[in-house]
Amino acid sequence: MKKLVKWCAVLLLVAAAAMVVVYRAVNQVPSPELPQYEQVYEIFEEGGCLSCHSSDPKLPFYAKLPVAGKIVMKDIDSGYRAYDIRPFMDALKVDGEFSPVDLAKIEKVVLDDRMPMPKYYLVHWGSSLTEAKREIVLGWILKERAEMYADNLPESRAGEPVRPIDSALEVDEAKAALGFALFHDPRLSVDNTVSCATCHALETAGVDNHQYSHGVDDQLGGVNAPTVYNAVYNFVQFWDGRAKTLADQAAGPPLNPVEMASESFDQIIAKLKEDKKFVKAFYAVYADGLTEANITDAIEEFERTLITPDSRFDQWLRGDDSALTAEELEGYELFKKYDCATCHVGQNLGGHSYELMGLRRHYFADRGLELTIEDNGRYKETQLERDRHRFKVPGLRNVEHTWPYYHDGTRETLEEAVRDMAIYQSDVEMTETEIDKVVSFLKTLTGKYKGELLTNDTSRDVIHDHDHDH
Ligand code: HEC
Ligand code: HEC
Ligand code: HEC
């Protein structure tokens, strides 16, 4: 009897050793001769990432089996819903342009050892990310990120997914001065009552602190106004991304019937032309004078000045250890731990991708309000089902001053906004202490405009626009 046990043990050991040998053989790291990006490509191709994270998954043979098949299809569905890796893989193939969001998302799942999921690599030998493979991927991400920003952060901060804002952008001062005037000019509206600044006042952090904005005749819009500060860092403008540039964006509000309600740019230009002084100033800068393109160009140029560098968090990023308290720093660590910094990345902590509102819980079902057209988000533009409820991720700079929050303006305090983000985006119920820490970190993102720290002295009360209707 004892002998049998002994033999069995030996047999098991031999089998295990053989497994390890085979496993090693099928799970080799890519040749170090290859360029780094090709090594990473090979790792992810073997990792089967495309099988679950693209619109055209390569189905494994067992996807056709009854029970296993159901599980596989569910993983593929929720994998693709959470993340489309195709643009990243295509960029990787040619060492092209990478999105800071892709780098952050992939870095996070590799650091947490979450992908590929064990049930996948247990079947697909060779797909799991061994320590050696993870090292290659993480090293490459750090190198790419440093190149992307070229901001020369000290070594202790060089890997951070959040980056400091430029101290200034190159701007044509004469155009920006015209843009400033236009931004504050109510003649862009049909009855000369509403300017851009009505909803985006510079003294109130570039927002109106209403749930929904009020246009001419006190008409109500259907979505919360984001700030104009640091909008220049957004990859597209508006919650649904319908404007590619700030100039594109600026052409919208003047003719929007519930905002400024002008009939046409011709109507606006005719009014401005009556102002001889303004016309003279305009021709001094734009040879072809007052046109829609020049008006929106000037506004864009002005908006390039609306950046808020030198926040305490940026001082910390640039190497000043004393810029943050221990609590604020812990808040930042939690912000990374709970995946916040996979969507809220880069210089504006957002503005680089469209993401699902309610990625991990049912935000819209829980909200209890009727769905609106605006709730469709990116879908409004593309009519693709996958884009429904996807929004351009808002930046979080100066966020302590830009209440209420979310596209629907339903969260009045930063604490609520943070608590619910954790629930709906990261499936985490944060403790009160954790929420306080993250909020204290977010408050360190308040920066300076023209050397002065941004403030917002309007009453903390959110104007309830649904009440206003009655
Ligand atoms: C068997 C299917 C499957 C494979 C293979 C797979 N994933 Fe995933 N992945 C998923 C699912 C399902 C989720 C969503 C899990 C969740 O909601 O937390 C996910 C989530 C992710 C996320 C997080 C998205 C977010 O916004 O938080 C990233 C990034 C990711 N996967 C990358 C990868 C990479 C890189 C690989 C290859 C090494 C890979 N995945 C392989 C199914 C898969
Ligand atoms: C009546 C209030 C109102 C007026 C007037 C107004 N806006 Fe807005 N602004 C909004 C709202 C609401 C949104 C969000 C709309 C959306 O995403 O669909 C917005 C979005 C923006 C954005 C996009 C920011 C981002 O993060 O996507 C910019 C930039 C902007 N406005 C600049 C301007 C400029 C320039 C003007 C004047 C030409 C202007 N706004 C006039 C309310 C207003
Ligand atoms: C999967 C991507 C994703 C993750 C993860 C994520 N967010 Fe967001 N965040 C968004 C999107 C999209 C919105 C806009 C949602 C809306 O308007 O309905 C948003 C909005 C916000 C806002 C409100 C900003 C404003 O101006 O309205 C705050 C604050 C915020 N997020 C903080 C966090 C924190 C803290 C975490 C981590 C606990 C987090 N987010 C995780 C995508 C994400």
Identify which of 423, 422, 401, 424 has the alpha carbon closest to the alpha carbon of residue 413: 401
Mean per-residue pLDDT of the chain: 92
pLDDT at position 428 over 80:
yes
pLDDT at position 16 over 80:
no
Tell me which of 180, 183, 200, 220 to substitute to probe ligand 2's pocket, judged by most ligand atoms within 8 Å of the beta carbon.
200
Atom of ligand 3 nearest to the CA of 430: 38
Tell me which of 184, 207, 236, 238 to substitute to probe ligand 2's pocket, judged by most ligand atoms within 8 Å of the beta carbon.
238
Query: What is the Cα–Cα distance from 318 to 165, expressed in whole angstroms?
Result: 11
343 lines ligand 1 (CB under 6 A): no
Query: What is the Cα–Cα distance from 288 to 79, expressed in whole angstroms?
Result: 52
Question: CB under 6 Å to ligand 2: residues?
Answer: 183, 188, 194, 196, 198-200, 213, 215, 221, 223, 225-226, 228, 231, 234, 237-239, 246, 249-250, 253-254, 259-260, 299
pLDDT at position 29 over 80:
yes
Question: How many angstroms is it from 197 CA to the middle of ligand 2?
Answer: 10
pLDDT at position 292 over 50:
yes
The pLDDT confidence band at residue 463, using thresholds 50, 70 and 90, is low
- 63-77, 84-98, 179-193, 405-419, range with the lowest pLDDT: 63-77
- What percentage of the chain reaches a pLDDT higher than 90? 82
CB 153 within 8 A of CB 318: yes
Tell the burial category of 148 from Cβ atoms under 10 Å away from its Cβ (0-12, 13-18, 19+).
Answer: middle
pLDDT of residue 160: 98
Query: What is the Cα–Cα distance from 199 to 463, expressed in whole angstroms?
Result: 13
pLDDT of residue 468: 43
pLDDT at position 52 over 70:
yes
- 29-38, 371-380, 415-424, range with the lowest pLDDT: 29-38
Residue nearest to atom 10 of ligand 1 (CA): 79
pLDDT of residue 255: 96
Question: How many angstroms is it from 267 CA to the middle of ligand 3?
Answer: 39
pLDDT at position 462 over 60:
no
Q: How many CB atoms lie within 10 A of CB 301?
A: 23
The pLDDT confidence band at residue 282, using thresholds 50, 70 and 90, is very high
83 lines ligand 3 (CB under 6 A): no
Question: How many angstroms is it from 226 CA to the middle of ligand 2?
Answer: 7
pLDDT at position 121 over 70:
yes
Scanning the structure block, which residue is given the tokens 């404007």?
Answer: 243
Ligand at minimal distance from the CA of 242 is 2
Query: What is the Cα–Cα distance from 239 to 224, expressed in whole angstroms?
Result: 9
Ligand at minimal distance from the CA of 391 is 3
The pLDDT confidence band at residue 5, using thresholds 50, 70 and 90, is confident
pLDDT of residue 25: 54
The pLDDT confidence band at residue 18, using thresholds 50, 70 and 90, is low
Average pLDDT over residues 124-136: 89
Query: What is the Cα–Cα distance from 122 to 120, expressed in whole angstroms?
Result: 5
Rg of the chain's alpha carbons, rounded to an integer? 26
Over the stretch 59-115, which tens digit does the pLDDT of each residue have? 777 777 877 788 888 888 999 999 999 999 999 999 999 999 999 999 999 999 998
Identify which of 348, 314, 309 has the alpha carbon closest to the alpha carbon of residue 168: 309
Average pLDDT over residues 427-448: 98
The token pair that represents 260 in the structure block: 């400024």
Average pLDDT over residues 205-228: 96
pLDDT of residue 467: 44
Identify which of 326, 389, 395 has the alpha carbon closest to the alpha carbon of residue 358: 389
Average pLDDT over residues 291-299: 98
Query: What is the Cα–Cα distance from 74 to 406, expressed in whole angstroms?
Result: 29
pLDDT at position 324 over 70:
yes
Atom of ligand 2 nearest to the CA of 198: 5
Question: How many angstroms is it from 271 CA to the middle of ligand 3?
Answer: 41
Identify which of 230, 263, 261, 269 has the alpha carbon closest to the alpha carbon of residue 246: 230
pLDDT of residue 411: 98
418 lines ligand 3 (CB under 6 A): yes
